[in-house]
Chain A
Amino acid sequence: MERFLIIGSGPAAISAIETIRGKGSKVEITLLSEEPYIPYSRPLISYLLAGKIEEERLFYKGRDFYERYGVKAFLEEPAVEVNIREGIVYSTKGRKFTYDKLLIAAGGKPIIPAVEGKELKGVFTFTTLNDAKNIAKYLEVEKAERVLIVGGGLIGLKATEALLEWNLNITLVELADRILSLTLDKKASNILQWRLEKESVKVITSNTVQEIRGQKKVEEVSLRSGEILPCDMLIFAIGVAPSVSFLRESGVEINRGIIVNEKMETNIPNIYAAGDVVEIKNIISGKNQPIAIWPNATEGGKVAGANMLGEDKFYPGTFPMNSVEVCGIPTISMGLTEPEGNDYEVFSKEEGINYRKVILRDNRVVGAVFVGNIERAGIFCGLIKDHLDVSPFKSRLLDDDFGLIYLPREYRKRKIEEAIGL
């Protein structure tokens, strides 16, 4: 029987497994996981930390996922080396795993900057279930009250939002001149920052942590600006990097992430990769880059799984997008949100906290921002994907009733037919 080996247990791995078994394949599947847990949804850790959901809800695929899907899983046993010539993966426990086909779905690791004091107690990252549990424990045991969150990106904000439920004194430090600078445009960033400040979150921009000080645990930090902030806890949320260290010597081609083609194949035959660990084609810029979002992981995993079975599936790529809600203000952003240069046409509309913006290039939608009113945002996601010429109806893009009705009838019909597989 063919032996599939999978490294990682995130959504890329899960969707590959679901695809493989969904097609009725009985191949042997072995999985190496760094996590001590059965598969869980990482994005839900902020809901857990906020006390909005029980831990059980994180295990979104059910407790018996590995049994149901016939997966031999090795928990807390990360891969440390891949030998492509022999087709062997070595684990931390020194065990050897042979494979006929290998899927690398190792995701990303939080980046921790090289600052003094980063090993002190009370310094955390925020990506895993254990991170969330450790933070909660620390808050309880150490009675921490002043929290510094480093990084005003998606994860930083998720952490902030969760910790707001704990009634803490929160400071957010962001290197750029505004929060969520990589995903939102200026106006949307400002709306969210205003909202955070209304909740008494102190937002410091264009600044970062220089040094963390304390005896055994964090007591204060100094910022690049020279400012000293007393604090009981610090969370690094300055981004994730593809977790590829164990592949450095393997011969698998890596840039920032693993390089794959549209079939999710690496340069090495029989080795596939998907999710946060790869560089995927950004269909707006045309360039490959890691796009660390959930849908990219599931889609990539699906294609990798099918191709591992010998099918001929393609994943044409995606683009950055995200949905973040801050203190009851939902936002959705996709593609280019603050483009530079004259090649763009920008439409925007603002009414109170409701804000919408659509960005066109050559009459094609290449980006959009929604704050407050996010209804039907997905239509724009479709327009970006389909590269549709919107010139006939571009004056309507921001209308309250904008919908499929304004799209060319033929396109609308085809879209509906395609969705149902006609």
Chain B
Amino acid sequence: MKRIYIHEEYCIGCRLCEIHCIAQHSRSKKLIKAFKEEFPRPLPRLVVEESGYISFALQCRHCEDAPCLSACLTGAMYRDEKTKAVLHDKDKCVGCWMCIMVCPFGVIKRDENNKIVSKCDLCNGEEVPACVANCPNEALEYR
């Protein structure tokens, strides 16, 4: 499947990926509007980790053998037949946090406003996910 690859040696910690992820998952999909007018602000579907000069953006790895799929009690976490991406159906999720408990990358977030989880959806069929498209230094790659 097409995946996001991380080149941490080129991550500059600017967090543009995070910012564009928020916008992409907002109602308007417009940066300024998403940040200034939409509340609560959507959660970014990735984490940017930083320590000293090292940093990298980490989003769901869409694991081949995904622990979150095995742990989900509701079928909310599912694998897309076509793309093989691990996706999350917010209508099925009950917020039991089993998936958070087992995801070894810690990339599933608790959406406290909606009492469900939130995770990378590879921008739902966009040609290139927003984080990759907006990384200024090719630290993220989609192939």
Report A's interface with B, CB cutoff 8 A: 15, 41, 43-44, 47, 52-53, 57, 60-61, 294-295, 298-299, 302, 321-323, 325, 330, 332, 334, 374-379, 381-382, 385, 401, 403-406, 415-416, 419-421
Contact = CB atoms under 8 A, between A and B. Distances in A.
B31 interface: no
B136 interface: no
Interface string B106-123: 101110000000000000
16 contacts: A41-B75, A43-B96, A60-B75, A61-B75, A294-B73, A295-B71, A295-B98, A295-B102, A323-B98, A378-B100, A378-B101, A381-B103, A382-B105, A401-B51, A403-B58, A419-B61
Given A295-B67, A375-B109, A401-B51, A382 B94 contact: no
B54 A57 contact: no
A375 B104 CA distance: 12
Contact of B96 (A321, A323, A419): A323
Contacts of B38: none
Given A375-B106, A375-B109, A378-B106, A404 B101 contact: no
Given A43-B73, A52-B94, A294-B73, A403 B101 contact: no
Q: What are the nearest 10 A-B pairs in CB distance?
A: A382-B104, A376-B106, A421-B64, A60-B75, A378-B103, A405-B49, A298-B70, A419-B61, A295-B71, A403-B49
A137 B125 CA distance: 46
A41 to B, nearest CB: 5
Contact of A405 (B51, B75, B97, B104): B51
Given A294-B70, A294-B98, A420-B61, 20 more contacts: A41-B73, A44-B73, A294-B71, A298-B69, A299-B70, A325-B96, A332-B100, A376-B100, A378-B67, A378-B102, A378-B105, A381-B67, A381-B104, A401-B50, A403-B49, A405-B50, A405-B54, A406-B51, A416-B6, A420-B62
A57 B105 contact: no
B139 interface: no
B43 to A, nearest CB: 11
B8 to A, nearest CB: 8
A47 B101 contact: no
Nearest to B64: A421
A88 to B, nearest CB: 32
B16 interface: no
B52 to A, nearest CB: 9
B3 interface: yes
Contacts of A375: 100, 106, 109-110
Interface of B: 3, 6, 47, 49-51, 54-56, 58, 61-65, 67, 69-71, 73-75, 92, 94-106, 108-110
Given A44-B73, A57-B74, A381 B49 contact: no
A57 B101 CA distance: 22
B97 A374 contact: yes
B106 A403 contact: yes
Contacts of B3: 420
Contact of B101 (A15, A299, A377): A377
B100 A374 contact: yes
Contacts of B108: 378
A43 B56 CA distance: 36
A415 B65 CA distance: 12
B55 A374 contact: no
A419 B51 contact: no
A336 B84 CA distance: 35
Contacts of B102: 295, 321, 378, 381
Contacts of B74: 41, 44, 57, 60
A375 B109 CA distance: 7
Contact of B106 (A43, A299, A334, A377): A377
A365 B49 CA distance: 21
A332 B61 CA distance: 22
Nearest to A22: B79
A299 B98 CA distance: 14
A291 to B, nearest CB: 13
Nearest to A52: B94
A401 B51 CA distance: 9
A401 B65 CA distance: 27
Nearest to A383: B104
Nearest to A43: B73
Given A295-B102, A378-B106, A404 B70 contact: no
Nearest to A416: B61
A300 B73 CA distance: 15
Contacts of B47: 376, 403
Given A44-B73, A44-B74, A332-B101, A404 B94 contact: no
